[in-house]
Amino acid sequence: MIKINEIFYSIQGETSYSGLATVFVRTTGCPLRCIYCDTKYSYVEGELMSANEIISKIATYHTKFVCITGGEPLAQKEVLFLMSELCQLGYLVSLETSGAKSIEKVSDGVKVILDVKTPDSGEGQSFLMDNLKWAKPSTEFKFVICSQKDFEWSEGFCRQYDLFKKYSVLYSPSYEQLSSRWLAEKILEKKSSARLQLQLQKYIWSPDTRGV
């Protein structure tokens, strides 16, 4: 059984699947406490569901895109089985993970979005370095940038581990801390190879921008 916080249908706002109608499966629980976390409600709330029940619910939405998110999905071992089953059924599965848990046993067909927590996230020591070994060419590395210090640190990390050459690297501004313009200018100024990623869902559904 897997403790599930919510299952919902929306537009994917991040990653290379951005803009696609997707079913989101949000698992309950996370070992981290990032200062910008916008899903604190997923830390404990949820109900137990079997993999079959989750798959049946997903099937009602009639899309092939499924995003497993959290919380931290890999905090529950059964999520590995769920993702493997979904891949076998022909779904295009993405996994959003904090980087603090091993991705070694994630099915080959799953696109992994691997967060690397920056120093100003408050969880800067949490990245499991072995995950660099398990990353596949399809893995996307994501950095949520909270400050100039985070930007410099992320650039250093990507260069030290050759991420720009091997993978897609996404930089997102921490939504209430940095403007997207500031980060865009930094990427240009430093000739960074990172892709600026805006959280599309926040622009679509925010009361300030609704209908824009």
* Contact footprint for ligand SF4 (CB under 6 A): 30, 32-34, 37, 39, 70-72, 98
Tokens of 177: 């801390």
Residue whose pair of structure tokens reads 């798959």 in the numeric block: 55
Nearest CB to ligand SF4, comparing residues 121 and 192: 121
Which H helix or E strand runs over 194? Answer: none
Nearest-approach distance from CB 150 to ligand SF4, in angstroms: 14
Which H helix or E strand runs over 22? Answer: strand 21-27
Measured between alpha carbons, how far is 33 from 26 in angstroms, rounded to an integer? 17
Measured between alpha carbons, how far is 211 from 205 in angstroms, rounded to an integer? 9
Residue whose pair of structure tokens reads 């895109």 in the numeric block: 65
Nearest-approach distance from CB 101 to ligand SF4, in angstroms: 10
Nearest CB to ligand SF4, comparing residues 34 and 169: 34
Nearest CB to ligand SF4, comparing residues 39 and 63: 39
Which H helix or E strand runs over 173? Answer: strand 168-173
Measured between alpha carbons, how far is 212 from 209 in angstroms, rounded to an integer? 5
Measured between alpha carbons, how far is 31 from 4 in angstroms, rounded to an integer? 16
6, 77, 107, 211 from 112: Cα distances, Å: 20, 16, 10, 31
Nearest-approach distance from CB 33 to ligand SF4, in angstroms: 5
Nearest CB to ligand SF4, comparing residues 13 and 70: 70
Nearest CB to ligand SF4, comparing residues 10 and 88: 10
Give the type of residue at 171. Y
Nearest CB to ligand SF4, comparing residues 83 and 116: 116
Nearest-approach distance from CB 113 to ligand SF4, in angstroms: 11
Measured between alpha carbons, how far is 194 from 206 in angstroms, rounded to an integer? 26
